[in-house]
């Protein structure tokens, strides 16, 4: 819910190329770190990325759906969680639900939230039960994704065509203003999404902790 299905041709070329390079670099690092993993980690990655896809079938109003990224991040950890976000975005892009050229950027936005979920969950576990810790992780994860999206869209507003249209001396202000306008339009949907994601994450993780606690970090 807190990520955006940015489509092809909407963002400037250098920006989505940078997104592809950044996502590729992160995946290369994660691949290197997990090079000696047993194949069951790969099977688990595929299975949980598939759960993320299935969870996205739960609609949250006209502009959103459940994401389930925080729970996947908690279960897989930051590195594999980021890869799961990339896989989901790649499959969604192939289905026309988002751009192919912006898979890297979409993955960075969703993956940033997925990657932060487990550290936040672990920190919260020192004081709270698994369900409440997962809710805290989900809210933090959503906010990190929104922050990543803010950065992407502000950088998009700094493209030459936009800057040329702005008054001299006010280019950066114009970029920030148009991004702020976007966030004002989208924030009600994000607030709803954050709350929904927190409740669902708390319940799903609470359920897992009651039935199979050994699966949680």
Partner 1 sequence: MNSDIALVDLWASSGRSPWHRASALAKMAFLAALLFAVITTREPVVLGVLLALVLACLATARVPLGAALLLGLYPVIFSSLFVLSRWDGTWQTPALLLGRSLAGSLGAVLLVATTPYPDLFAPIARVTPRLVGDGLFLTYRAFFGLLHRADRMWVALRLRGGLTGRGLPRDLRYAGEGLGQLVLHSFDRSQRLYAVMQIRGHSGRVCGCRHWADFSIADLLPLGLAVVVVAAAVLRGATR
By CB under 8 A, name the one of 17, 100, 172, 191 that touches partner 1.
Answer: 100
Q: Which is nearer to partner 1, 126 or 164 (CB)?
A: 164
Positions 138 through 167 that interact with partner 1 (CB under 8 A): 153, 162, 165
Residue span 6-45 as binding mask against partner 1, x where in contact by CB under 8 A, dash where not: xxxxx--x-------------xx-xx--x---xxx-xxxx
Q: Do the Cβ atoms of 129 and 207 come closer than 8 Å? A: no
Separation between Cα atoms, residue 134 and residue 141, nearest integer Å: 10
Measure Cα distances from 160 to 9, 11, 51, 60, 178 in Å: 15, 12, 40, 36, 14
SS3 (DSSP) at 60: coil
Residue span 177-216 as binding mask against partner 1, x where in contact by CB under 8 A, dash where not: -xx-xx--xx---------x--xxxxxxxxxx--xx--x-
Please give the size of the binding site for partner 1, defined by CB under 8 A.
Answer: 79
Q: Which residues of 125-144 are buried (b: 16+ CB within 10 A; e: fewer)?
A: beeeebbbbbbbbbbbbbbb
By CB under 8 A, name the one of 76, 77, 81, 101 that touches partner 1.
Answer: 101
CB of 32 to partner 1, least distance (A): 9
Q: Which residues of 195-209 are buried (b: 16+ CB within 10 A; e: fewer)?
A: bbbbebbbebbbebb
CB of 42 to partner 1, least distance (A): 6
Separation between Cα atoms, residue 164 and residue 170, nearest integer Å: 10
Q: Does 172 bind partner 1 (CB under 8 A)?
A: no
Backbone angles phi, psi at 3, to 5 degrees: -100, 175
Q: Does 73 bind partner 1 (CB under 8 A)?
A: no
By CB under 8 A, name the one of 1, 15, 80, 116 that touches partner 1.
Answer: 80
Instruction: Extract the tokens encoding 102.
Output: 């912006």
Nearest to 140 by CA among 61, 49, 69: 69
CB of 102 to partner 1, least distance (A): 9
Q: Does 58 bind partner 1 (CB under 8 A)?
A: yes
Q: Which is nearer to partner 1, 56 or 155 (CB)?
A: 56
Q: Which is nearer to partner 1, 87 or 116 (CB)?
A: 87
């Amino acid at each position: 819910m807190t990520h955006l299905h940015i489509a092809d041709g909407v963002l400037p070329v250098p920006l989505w190329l940078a997104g592809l390079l950044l996502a590729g670099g992160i995946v290369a690092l994660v691949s290197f770190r997990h090079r000696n993993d047993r194949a069951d980690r790969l099977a688990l990655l595929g299975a949980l990325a598939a759960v993320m896809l299935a969870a996205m079938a739960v609609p949250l109003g006209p502009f959103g759906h459940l994401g389930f990224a925080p729970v996947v991040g908690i279960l897989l950890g930051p590195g594999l969680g980021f890869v799961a976000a990339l896989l989901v975005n790649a499959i969604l892009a192939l289905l026309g639900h988002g751009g192919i050229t912006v898979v890297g950027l979409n993955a960075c936005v969703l993956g940033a939230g997925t990657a932060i979920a487990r550290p936040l969950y672990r920190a919260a576990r020192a004081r709270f039960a698994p369900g409440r810790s997962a809710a805290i992780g989900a809210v933090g994860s959503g906010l990190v994704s929104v922050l990543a999206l803010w950065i992407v869209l502000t950088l998009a507003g700094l493209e030459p065509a936009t800057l040329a249209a702005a008054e001299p001396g006010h280019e950066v202000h114009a970029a920030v203003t148009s991004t702020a306008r976007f966030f004002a339009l989208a924030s009600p949907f994000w607030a709803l999404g954050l709350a929904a994601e927190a409740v669902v994450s708390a319940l799903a993780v609470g359920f897992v902790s009651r039935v199979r606690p050994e699966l949680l970090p």
